[in-house]
A and B are shown apart, each in its own frame.
Chain A
Amino acid sequence: MADGDGAAETDPGRVFAGFDALPNGAAVWDEAGALLFANRAFRQSFDFALPVGLPYARFLTAVAASREWRLPVPPDIWITEQAAAFGEESEADYKSADGRVVRMSVAPIDGGGAATMLSDVTAAERREATLLAAKEKAEAVDEAKSRFLRAANHDLRQPLAALKIMIFNCMRETDDARRRDLLHGMDVSVSVMEDLLGALLQIGQLDAGRIKPRIATFQLSTLFERLEIQFRHQAADKGLRLRIVGARAAVSSDRALLERILSNIVANALRFTDVGGVLVGCRRRGDGLRIDVVDTGRGVAPEDQERIFDEFFRAADDRRLEKTGLGLGLNIVKRLSDLLGHRIQLQSAPGVGSRFSVFVPLGNVWHSEVVETEVNEAVAGEFVGAPILLVEDDDALREAMGQLLDRWGVDRRSAAGAEEAAAIVAGGFRPRLIIADYSIRKSTGLDVIAHVRGVSEAEIPACIITADAEPGVVERVRAASLPLMVKPVSPPRLRVMMHHLLFEQDPA
């Protein structure tokens, strides 16, 4: 290889072509800071010309003037700093105008001068950011878990300790009454722990950002109805009056989360009220609605009114002895209302009572979601609630017809024979319609109808169904002025017949 060394030295054009093929930008500056060479990728990174001999300071000025890179310091300072550091090793990342991240590395060249490298590190940066976010999330979850454990430790200890003592005592107790008392006490301790775990779980979910509100428009009245059902007994047990004033407004919120806010406030109000009652109502305030929970309870001291929403807050004079609150309910209220953007207000005077208010935006009634259940004839058909007596001795047929009537929402009683029908009527059931098979054991549908009408002292509409339309049967039914249907009875025919007997004066 005689000319091997010579070949490596010659043809700088091929060397430059090789540099041009690189995806990263590369430039070489001489010891005086004049540009010797810039490859294609380097030139394409800027929209200004890069002639050979361009001074490094001029290059920096052009970069700053192009505003393509977001500089960490004002442009003139950046230019001065970079120019002063020429020839020293450095590395910095710049966000470019098109959203990429460009890394500029400067390396000194032996014997003077410097080489500049540009590389696109956008993807790497993103990966790093994602990793960081994941790490932060993991830490938050970890923190939430620690808090959960601390809280559990804090509040589970007491009922747990009580439980241990009671179990121990219960094992040796021979007196039944005292044993029952201990079991009741254990039951209470377990419910306290249950409530605590439930509340902690909710807070844990809130902390972990797992609760995502779904904002919709709905009638507040539907939520009030549920509150009433939920707390009616609890209030009555305590001898308190719970009054929920009907609401007509449509509101815009998350139905389930708003319910949790209000139920926590109402539960709290009932817990801290010994005499009087709790009132739930609402008032229009500007373009929003203020939902109030007013109680005649112990009230909150002025100095506690801020802190009452804190985790595990308990007032100094808290004299709850039995199944007590856990100091978490109002914290959940606070977190949920923050999540939903609903302002919470407290007005309270010790010994007089409190008013907790939640401010929610009003919704457009047209967009109100009123359809909660599947609409069908069992809940909304024409026969809903109509009391009907069905007399049929064939078990399968009675079952099938019964199912059909149930599907139509009828208030149905079925009897297999005359005695059973008589017993149903004797029990106080007053049908508006009787559907009777003609031939039932030992008697006919005509007899049953006559009997029920007699007991009820009313000409209750009725019809006869029969499997054999022999002339004698038809004649007898006609003589009793009753309509007759021949089996099998199709649902549409039965429907038409029932409609006419129930609602039209003139049976078709």
Chain B
Amino acid sequence: MVDAFIPIGSMVPLTGPSAADGAEFRKGVILAAEEVNARGGLLGRPIKPIFADTGRQGAEDVVAAARTLIGTHKVHAIVNGYNIGPQNSEYEPVAEAGVIYIHANTLLQHHDTVMSDPERYFGCFMTDPADYWYGPGFLKFISWLRDTGQWKPSSNRIAIVSGSKPYSIVIAQAMASSAAKFGWRVCFGPELVQTPTSDWREALDAIRATKPAVIANTHFYSGDLASFQLQFMERPTDSLVYLQYGAMHQSFSDVAQSKGVGVLTSTVIGLLRDEMGRSFASRYVARFGEGSTPHIGCQSYSALHHYVLAASLAGGSAGPGGFEQNRKVAKALKAVIYRSVSGTIRYDEQWQAAAPYPVVSQDPSLGLPHLFFQIQDYRKPLALIAPEPFNTDRFVLPPWIDARG
């Protein structure tokens, strides 16, 4: 019985440098599928996840995974977390087959690819906001700290270091271009540093000379960022330190330990600490054991639930070649505003990407919250300090900044 279940593909790095995140994306899909099936499946049919390893996440790896899922397994949709590196090349097999593809690649180029040919890429969705939004979101965040008197910056100067991946470059440029609107002046950078790297001393020396009130590093590998922080702490300045995304990971604190306390970081898709978020986290840990990380698994988990809701509304899903039905599913994905455990996923009509709160939508019920964290105790979960109404903790001055200011 080929038709007994609906095959849903998922492209996850189960080996290679991102295998830890890949494992969580896989768990998120499994848990969502189990919950959907326990409720009777997609219009009565159970869904079955099929995973394809994307290894080092290069374009060839991810395209091959997409082709296998579509060609061999005839999946109706591909739902996963992020893959760094395919640069949208995987959109081609998806577009040719006319299936639905939902990912959390966090890339601005998604907007351009989809908008360059909306007919062709009708099925491609990004379940989180583009990397670009980290820039203005971060500027709003530090301006909020300043304007509310939680922190008195030593100056209006901001130093920006970028890693060499497109994601880091786009964020660094977005920070730089938004700075002046909020009364900040870029005194250093955006300086591109070849990544991966564990040596930041040269860049840090140049940064220190500019006496910035804020230092932002948009590279995102947790180990590299831990090195950056340790080297910054060799001679700290009166600056807030913001480290892009990777500082969210436990592996960052494992290396930086107490020297990471005070560091700021953020994510445009994270797990909320409200009743919904906590309930999900406990189901996740109960299912996959202590040591599993629901705040990463939530990305693919929410995306799959959203897909099933939309496909049900559209009257069912379809495999490769089922353009007509899958267009209905795509239309339903845009119509169904879904309050996930990460906040609200509302696909922008043109971008086919989730709109962020509060940078694009000022209504928390219509945007996915850009969450800001601070490491306050490196042995405990990060403090969620912004934005309202999702924050659970308060900002504290980093220990290396002289409180007398």
Contact = CB atoms under 8 A, between A and B. Distances in A.
The answer to whether A binds B is yes
B112 A377 contact: yes
Interface string B298-330: 000000000000000000000000000000000
A366 B184 CA distance: 16
A219 B143 CA distance: 11
B147 interface: yes
B115 interface: yes
A376 to B, nearest CB: 6
Contacts of B143: 248, 250, 365
Contacts of B89: 490, 492-493, 496
B108 A375 contact: yes
Contacts of A219: 181-182
Interface in B22-36: none
Interface string B106-145: 0011011101100000000000001010011000100110
Nearest to A404: B116
Interface stretch (B9-17, B171-179, B242-250): B171-179
Interface stretch (A179-187, A306-314, A497-505): A497-505
B358 A381 contact: no
B181 A222 contact: yes
B111 A504 contact: no
Contacts of B257: none
A26 to B, nearest CB: 56
B183 A370 contact: no
Given A407-B112, A490-B92, A492-B89, A365 B180 contact: no
Contacts of B86: 492
Contact of B59 (A407, A496, A504): A496
A380 B177 contact: yes
Interface string B26-56: 0000000000000000000000000000000
Contact of A375 (B59, B113, B132): B132
Contact of A503 (B87, B169, B174): B169
A136 B181 CA distance: 45
Interface string A343-373: 0000000000000000000101111111100
Contacts of B144: 364-366
A362 to B, nearest CB: 8
A246 interface: yes
Contacts of B166: 382, 499, 503
A365 B182 contact: yes
A508 B58 CA distance: 10
A493 B182 contact: no
B231 interface: no
Given A221-B181, A499-B166, A493 B59 contact: yes
Given A366-B140, A367-B362, A381-B170, A503 B108 contact: no
A80 to B, nearest CB: 60
B359 A371 contact: yes
A504 B194 contact: yes
Nearest to B112: A377
A377 B147 contact: no
Contacts of A496: 59, 87, 89
Interface in A460-508: 490-493, 495-496, 499, 503-505, 508
B287 to A, nearest CB: 36
Contacts of A371: 136, 359-360
Interface string B254-269: 0000000000000000
Contact of A377 (B92, B109, B164, B180): B109
A267 interface: no
Nearest to A218: B181
B88 interface: yes
A132 to B, nearest CB: 39
B192 interface: yes
B183 A366 contact: no
B388 interface: yes
B156 interface: yes
A377 B108 contact: yes
A478 B91 CA distance: 30
A384 interface: yes
B387 interface: yes
Contacts of B132: 375, 380
A381 B359 CA distance: 18
A401 interface: no
A247 interface: yes
A490 B117 CA distance: 14
A403 to B, nearest CB: 10
A366 B169 contact: no
A407 to B, nearest CB: 6
A495 B180 contact: no
A370 B178 contact: yes
A491 B194 CA distance: 24
Contacts of B130: 375
Given A380-B132, A492-B86, A492-B88, A368 B140 contact: yes
B310 to A, nearest CB: 25
B183 A221 contact: yes
Contact of B136 (A217, A222, A370): A370
Interface string A403-415: 0000110000000
Contacts of A499: 87, 166
A496 B156 CA distance: 36
Interface in B153-193: 156, 164, 166, 169-170, 173-174, 177-178, 180-184, 192
A365 B112 contact: no
Given A366-B140, A380-B173, A246 B116 contact: no
Contacts of B87: 492, 495-496, 499
A176 B391 CA distance: 75
A382 B183 contact: no
Interface string B376-389: 00000000001110
Nearest to A370: B136
A108 B236 CA distance: 99
B111 A366 contact: no
Given A222-B181, A490-B89, A382 B170 contact: yes
B112 A492 contact: no
A370 B359 contact: yes
B164 A495 contact: no
Nearest to B90: A492
Contact of A376 (B112, B135, B169): B112
Interface string A376-418: 1100111010000000000000000000000110000000000
A219 to B, nearest CB: 5
Contacts of A376: 108, 111-112, 115
Q: Most chain-A Cβ atoms within 10 A of its Cβ — which of B113, B156, B181?
A: B181
A385 B360 CA distance: 25
Interface in A74-111: none
A332 B86 CA distance: 56
B382 to A, nearest CB: 20
Contacts of B169: 382, 503
B45 to A, nearest CB: 34
A246 B180 contact: yes
Contacts of A368: 140
A175 B1 CA distance: 98
Contact of B109 (A217, A364, A369, A381): A381
A492 B184 CA distance: 35
Contacts of B360: 371
A366 B192 CA distance: 29
Query: Which 4 pairs show the lowest CB-CB distances between chains A and B?
Result: A248-B183, A492-B89, A382-B169, A382-B166
10 contacts: A219-B181, A248-B183, A365-B143, A366-B387, A367-B358, A381-B112, A490-B92, A492-B89, A499-B87, A508-B58
Given A380-B108, A380-B177, 14 more contacts: A219-B181, A219-B182, A246-B183, A365-B143, A366-B144, A366-B388, A371-B359, A375-B111, A380-B170, A382-B169, A382-B173, A492-B92, A495-B109, A496-B59
Interface of A: 217, 219, 221-222, 246-250, 362, 364-371, 375-377, 380-382, 384, 407-408, 490-493, 495-496, 499, 503-505, 508
